[in-house]
Amino acid sequence: MKFYKYSPWSGNKGDYTRENLLEHAVFLASPEVFNDPFDFNPSYDYSATYLEKKQHITKVIMRGKACSKAKAEREAIKILRGNPIFKERDGVARFACEDKENLRKVMGVSCFTTKPGNSPMWAHYADNHQGVCLEWDFPDIGEHFYLPKGVEKAIPLVLQPVTYANERPVVHMFDNMQDGGVLADGIITKSTDWKYEDEYRLIMPGYTGKVYYYPYMLSGIILGYKMTTEQVKEVKKFIKKIKFQPRLYKTQLSEHSFDYEIVPIE
C-alpha cells in the first residue's frame, strides 16, 4: 500500500528532509509540537466505585507480578487505603491531569497520508506547494520501520489509521486500561475537521527521534507545482545520492477540476 508524507524542501544542505532521505529515516516528534491542541489529549473519566477501583488495581498487580489473586487484592486494598491519590477527594482527578500531560511528552509520532494530491496539505506541510510529497510502497504484512540500535521497541512499527469523530474520545481510568486498548483508542482519534487528511500514524511510546525504512520502500518523490525549473534540476541531482533512487514526479494543476495531475519527470 502506498503512503505519503508532505515535507518542505529548502535546498540547503542542513534541510531535514534532505538529511532524512539520505539516512532513509523519518522523525518521530512529540505531540506537544503538533498544530491540533486536541491531539493525544483525550477526555478522562476517573469515576469508579471502591469495588471497581479494587478490581482494576488487582488486575494490574496480578499482571505485573504474576501473583495470586488473593495476594494482589490485599496489595490493592493497601494502595487504596494508603495512597494519597485515592484518599484525597480530587486525588485521582489531579493524577489524571498530570498523566495526560505526561502522555504528550513520552510519545513519538510521525504522520502520513494516503492522499498525494491534497491541496490543503500541500499548502500547510509542503511550504505552500514549494516542497515535496514523499511516497513509500509498504508491504501489507510486516513492520514498516525499524529503530536505531539500542532503542527498545515498545510496540510493532506499523502505520495505524486515524479515526475521526465528532466527540472527544473518553478514557475511563479504571476500565481495564492495563491492556492499552482503551488508551490507544483515545490517542488515535481526531476531530472530523481533519478527516480530509486521511491520516495514518507511526507511534512509539517512550521514544522521539529517527526511525528507519529499507531504501527500496521509498518509491517516489513528488514535487510541488510551484517548484522552479532550477529547483527541479537541483532535486534531480540530489536523488542520485539516494540508494535505490525513487521515481521523480511533479504536480500540475488540472485544467478541468480542482485536482492535481501527478506526472513523471524524465
Closest CA to 138 of 114, 117, 174, 115: 114
C-alpha to C-alpha distance for 231 and 13, rounded to whole angstroms: 14
Number of neighbouring beta carbons within 10 Å of residue 85: 15
| Alpha carbon distance 113, 106 (integer Å) | 23
Which pLDDT does position 86 carry in this prediction? Answer: 63
For the stretch 77-87, pLDDT in tens is 777 777 666 65
Share of residues in the chain with pLDDT > 70 (%): 82
* 66: amino acid identity, one letter: A
What percent helix, strand, coil does the chain show, rounded to 5? 40, 25, 35
SS3 (DSSP) at 249: strand
pLDDT: which is higher, 152 or 134: 134
The pLDDT score that the predictor gives to residue 177 is 46
Q: For 159-210, how does the pLDDT look when each residue is reduced to its tens digit (9 = 90+)?
A: 999 999 998 877 776 664 444 445 566 678 899 999 999 999 999 888 999 9
Helices 69-82 & 50-65, crossing angle to 10 degrees?
Answer: 120
* Mean of pLDDT values over 216-232: 95
pLDDT value at position 179?
44
143 DSSP assignment? -
- Tell me which amino acid residue 17 is: T
pLDDT on residue 178: 43
Q: What is the pLDDT of residue 88?
A: 57
Residue 90: is its pLDDT beyond 50? yes
pLDDT for the residue 180: 47
CA distance 227 to 241: 20
Which range, 56-70, 163-177, 226-240, is most confident? Answer: 226-240
Cell, residue 244: 535505490
* Identity of the amino acid at 127: D
- The average confidence (pLDDT) of the chain is 84
Q: How many CB atoms lie within 10 A of CB 20?
A: 17
Q: Is 196 helix (H, G, I), strand (E, B) or coil?
A: helix
Closest by CA position to 201, among listed 191, 189, 216, 210 = 189
Q: How confident is the model at residue 266 (pLDDT cuts 50, 70, 90)?
A: confident
Of 27, 180, 5, 162, the residue nearest 103 (C-alpha): 180
**Residue 186 backbone class (left: φ over 0; alpha: ψ -120 to 50; beta: rest):** alpha
Name the residue with higher pLDDT: 166 or 64: 166
Segments making up each domain of the chain, as ranges = 2-42+108-264, 44-102
For 49-56, the CB contacts below 8 A with 24+ separation are 50/80, 52/174, 53/80, 53/86, 53/174, 54/80, 56/174, 56/175, 56/176, 56/177, 56/178
Least confident range of 10-14, 54-58, 160-164, 192-196? 10-14
- pLDDT at position 102: 63
Backbone angles phi, psi at 91, to 5 degrees: -60, -45
